[in-house]
Amino acid sequence: MMQAAAAETVTLYAAGSLKTALTDVVKAYETKSGNKVTAKYGPSGLLKDEIAGGAKADVFASANMEHPQALYGAGRSGPVLLFARNRLCALVRPGLAVTSTALLEYMLKPGVKLGTSTPKADPSGDYAFAVFKKAATLTPGAQSALEKKALRLTGAKDSALPPPGRNVYGWHVAEGRADIFLTYRTNALAAQKENTDQQIVALPDALSVGADYGLTVIKGAGPAAQTFADYVMSAAGQQVLAGYGFASVDAK
């Protein structure tokens, strides 16, 4: 039992792709510790900028390692811990007969709407553009073509928001704004639960891109911030993350 001497409130800033999993982690931590956690979820790049600009946060959980490393490098936070892994995949609309082998061909088709998140603001967008860079090794000119046609539908400050309770990626595909959406496997699994006819297609090995998630405690945070970070890294916290499709930090 990691009961604090007096209950504290931890302010968590975390990537949107972590919201469902960390909500469960937070509940378990609060029960175990007696502390409270208030959370703000959003694109990791925008959250990092808010913290760098002075926003009050105690723990930052990012969908990449670079954003928390930037805070650490600036002396704003402690060391960065790799706490989860994710992987990019394609969420595909019903009726589009896409296989892993043919995915690049379909992404390049002029009539196929290709959705991504917004690079720099959201690591998911950066990872999608890393896929495009890999595509150039398979098909000359593919990187430029994909970057030009990519519809940056999520991750920006002015991105359209889905109705309450809807998964944003499944919503965009269901509404016809994207035929193929490159997103995290965890997001795609959540979208498919709401939209059972949507397909999840793995990227072929030559285009595969993994996502390392970094956790850091902000300088000046109270003791409970470290106990929360420790709980995320614990076997119990890792088990919750695994239940939502994240790979453990031991998985390569």
- CATH 3.40.190.10 matches 9-84+212-243: yes
Q: What is the pLDDT of residues 191-203, one digit of tens each?
A: 999 999 999 999 9
| Of residues 179, 243, 171, the one with CA closest to residue 23 | 243
Start-end ranges of CATH 3.40.190.10 in the chain? 9-84+212-243, 87-207
Judged against a pLDDT cut of 90, whether residue 250 lies above it is answered with: no
pTM of the model: 0.90
Q: In 101-209, which ranges are E strands? A: 114-117, 151-154, 180-184, 199-202
Phi, psi for residue 102 in degrees, rounded to 5? -95, 5
245 contact partners, CB below 8 Å, separation of at least 6: 86, 185, 186, 189
Helix (H) or strand (E) holding 230: helix 223-233
Question: Which single residue is written with the structure tokens 């990092």?
Answer: 48
Average pLDDT of the segment spanning 47-68:
98
pLDDT tier at 6, thresholds 50, 70, 90: confident
Triad 28, 31, 33: Cα angle to 5°:
100
Cα separation, 215 vs 211, whole angstroms: 13
pLDDT tier at 2, thresholds 50, 70, 90: low
Q: Which CATH architecture has domain 87-207?
A: 3-Layer(aba) Sandwich (3.40)
pLDDT of the residue at 252: 43
Q: What is the pLDDT of residues 17-28, one digit of tens each?
A: 999 999 999 999
